[in-house]
Amino acid sequence: MKTCLLAILILTASAAAQATCLDSLPTHRAQMEADYLKSKDSPFDEPMRAHFTGFSYFEGDASFCVDATFERAKGEKPFDMVAFNGKSLPFIKYGVFRFPLGGTMRTLTAYQRRDLPPAERQWVLVPFQDSTNGKETYGGGRYLQLDFPIRARMTLDFNRAFNPLCAYDAKFTCPVPPPENRLAISIPVGEKGYSKDH
């Protein structure tokens, strides 16, 4: 009886977390677009900003808001992560997320950038590729960014997957998702490929 009750509570908590993911999605997207337009590092010039009507997104899907466990990496050393333009950026492996998706347990590695002041690197980057790349989404992959604190159990919300800046302007240096972050599944949520018509 206690086991059944615990299972019901876990399922209820998971469903509530998924609902919260979708409830906050419009606000998250509006804030992200506003930040892109006002940032001094915006990839959009003034004419593009004047005609910007928003990014293109998949419909939100609660099944891609997944419950993940996180294991912190130990003994890792900084390394240069290759970027799309041939340059590189210093990162360190921060840890690994494990989560069920598409009937299979999957993993994604999170990285922390090392060339920023400590106060500006209170987040981890999860660059990934999936089967939508080069079709509905940017060919090089997309990113998830998670702010600290990173806990042992967290929600990964793929509805918040976004394009790297180099999807809009090749002048930016954007990390290529490492091989371990290439998912053999389609992730049809989050931001779609960018078109200058938007």
Domain containing 164: what range?
Answer: 2-181
Assess if residue 195 is contained within a domain: no
pLDDT at 197: 43
Assess if residue 78 is contained within a domain: yes
pLDDT at 37: 82
Assess if residue 190 is contained within a domain: no
pTM: 0.87
Low-confidence winner among 128-142, 146-160, 184-198 (lowest mean pLDDT): 184-198
Assess if residue 33 is contained within a domain: yes
Assess if residue 91 is contained within a domain: yes
Rounded-to-integer distance, Cα 170 and Cα 148, Å: 29
Assess if residue 189 is contained within a domain: no
Total structural domains within the chain: 1
Assess if residue 193 is contained within a domain: no
Assess if residue 122 is contained within a domain: yes
Q: Average pLDDT over the chain, rounded to whole?
A: 88
Tell me which of 41 and 101 has the higher pLDDT: 101
Residue 9 has pLDDT above 50, yes or no: no
SS (HEC) of 103-172: CEEEEEEEEEECCCCHHHCCEEEEEEECCCECCCECCCCEEEEEECCCCCEEEEEHHHCECCHHHCCCCC
